[in-house]
Structure 1
């Protein structure tokens, strides 16, 4: 395992760095080689993070399993932790009824923690409020297509699977095809959001055979009003990448989830969703073969 020279800490900032040092000392960072990421190693229990008892190493973000001291993600983590010790109050997008144990654990380190979620429910209570540069009625990163909601209008309650892997997650073309045929074979109605950049390094183009099969029960859009879709009576399930915004919106709408975590916080979000809140299930990344 490599070593890392942590900056000196003040009395005010020592708490968070104690946890950073603990991660390193417990060998959770910087295995010597990626081949060391054995099943036994990844299934190691991390039982010393407040509010996250029973957490497994494989449920932490990937850069906390195999990384280098100069890795940008690791450096950002340290810098963010240090910055957090220099502020008087911290606001987080969650709500205590959902994560009471975890919020209590964070408060043991940072007493002045305030939960402000779910934000979209607060926004829904604002009938008309605009700032100079921001319209609170539209906070999507992509242009929404009203046809997505229009298509749902003709469907029976709880009959549609909504599929959206977020605004930045990418997948291989083979993974895209696996999901496409899986949705077709489910024989369920589905609304699938396929961004133009969803496939890594190439256009998200479906074979004609698959496109025709999907057209019988599916609707494909490039983006939609996710909150409106999740709250539509026709939607009975959500296949998601497990981004925090998507999970909070789905919980607020009362829609169960199937989670396909890709990277970063999605892994631990999925863990919380499946193990702690029991509102969904995780699927393993599909094993895809070329051709």
Structure 2
């Protein structure tokens, strides 16, 4: 091994990015390589609070140290990128100059960090926590602008047109582009910020020799072929018997009381509902979801964040909690990987963020898809149209996924064995990819050998 091999890892400061990069850090550290992991102060505080210092205990076993960037950059979502750039570059450069790093691994949306590494003579690599299909769309942005398919703000010129990169990659509608954030869509400034971040992914792909992602070649073959240098190393799931880092990177405290409840339920009977750390729904939509779960008559485990209802605490329909007392279990945040692998769980009602998508896929769980923004619609299309392991929950004319739609789709998914069969087939494929000799295993081994040179 290279003397004193030491890797610096810098994620974008949100749970969907911190979580997979921290899992990657643990995998690299398992090979005896020292890791320094950079977090924003507020992010690190959430990790420590949610895990009761578990990250510290695990990181000490794995030679991982955490450093924090001061929380001096704040502001509205549209100001995120400019505020980050005022603080992060200088901090990261100072860190690189103080330490002798073998390599810097940065989130693909923070490509400027890789430029800092290059300037200081340090090897570097990018990591994407998205589906490769979403990255492929980003790499085509210059071409899409050149052909006037989209303008310089990412707005599609013809509203009814679709973007299709390959017959085996789901197409994008005008309302489902990766940089579209409907909850924030009233502000062109916010869309422009998100678009610029996606555009930076293209620059990272173009400049980097090493680019890793949390997927495997077998499930995104067409997209991977569009980016030949892409190195799939996923799924980044812990298959060890202890599973002591399964919750790594969580910003929320996990409620483990759900396991004794799950243990009492029949095999393949429970609906698990979780919408990630960011997505919100209206109070009216919350009511319809609650009533839909009640109408299904099936046991359910529902993760209800305190800010799920438009950023505020949700109010349950009158009498709902009493009526479903023997049917449902409600927690603020669930230990998702361990829940999905529990034998009583039958399906996953999900926002279709990529982390949740890859976790459900790896555990062989069919999906009920409830995307909200960004890449979630594209992930939904993989689930329903390409892999055929789930169903879409379609909004009505008022944009609400009503209780009857929920009840019907639950019944179809739970009664049609083809969804479970397809899920089990893909589960085998993705797990084989990270097993010894598999495609992701070999890719990761190649990268580790690079770090050890």
Separation of aligned partners in 1, 2:331 and 2:198: 35
Matches within 5 A, 1:203-222: 203-222=313-332
Separation of aligned partners in 2, 1:17 and 1:190: 37
The 3 A distance-change label for structure 1 pair 113 and 31 is: closer
Residue 206 of structure 2 corresponds to 85
Alignment RMSD? 3.1
Q: Does 1:118 align with 2:239?
A: no
Tell me the CA shift for residue 201 of structure 1: 3.6
Residue 162 of structure 1 corresponds to 272
Matching residue within 166, 171, 181 for 1:55: 171
Q: Does 1:72 align with 2:193?
A: yes
Matches within 5 A, 1:213-252: 213-252=323-362
Q: Does 1:102 align with 2:223?
A: yes
Separation of aligned partners in 1, 2:138 and 2:353: 26
Contact preservation (8 Å) 1:260, 1:285 = no
Aligned residues: 257
Matching residue within 116, 138, 162 for 2:247: 138
Separation of aligned partners in 1, 2:299 and 2:365: 16
Contact preservation (8 Å) 1:191, 1:219 = yes
Tell me the CA shift for residue 125 of structure 1: 3.3
Partner secondary structure for residue 237 of structure 1: strand
Separation of aligned partners in 1, 2:312 and 2:137: 41
Contact preservation (8 Å) 1:29, 1:64 = no
The 3 A distance-change label for structure 1 pair 275 and 248 is: same
Following TM superposition, the consecutive aligned residue runs of length 4 or more in structure 1 with deviations greater than 6 angstroms are 15-18, 64-67
Contact preservation (8 Å) 2:270, 2:299 = yes
Contact preservation (8 Å) 1:172, 1:199 = yes
Separation of aligned partners in 1, 2:213 and 2:346: 29
Any unmatched runs of 5+ in structure 2?
Answer: 1-135, 402-453
Matching residue within 16, 29, 38 for 2:150: 29
Contact preservation (8 Å) 2:179, 2:194 = no
Quick check: which one's helix share is greater? 2
The 3 A distance-change label for structure 1 pair 174 and 30 is: farther
Residue 272 of structure 1 corresponds to 382
Tell me the CA shift for residue 127 of structure 1: 5.7
Partner secondary structure for residue 98 of structure 1: coil
The 3 A distance-change label for structure 1 pair 260 and 31 is: farther
Any unmatched runs of 5+ in structure 1?
Answer: 1-14, 129-134
The 3 A distance-change label for structure 1 pair 208 and 274 is: same
Separation of aligned partners in 2, 1:17 and 1:225: 32
Contact preservation (8 Å) 1:237, 1:258 = yes
Tell me the CA shift for residue 142 of structure 1: 1.1
Deviations 1:95-116 (A, max 9, x none): 0111112111221xxxx22111
The 3 A distance-change label for structure 1 pair 71 and 52 is: farther
The 3 A distance-change label for structure 1 pair 46 and 225 is: same
Residue 41 of structure 1 corresponds to 159
Contact preservation (8 Å) 2:170, 2:382 = no
Deviations 1:54-112 (A, max 9, x none): 614244335399885881011112223223322211001100111112111221xxxx2
Separation of aligned partners in 2, 1:223 and 1:195: 7
Separation of aligned partners in 2, 1:189 and 1:62: 36
Contact preservation (8 Å) 2:178, 2:373 = yes
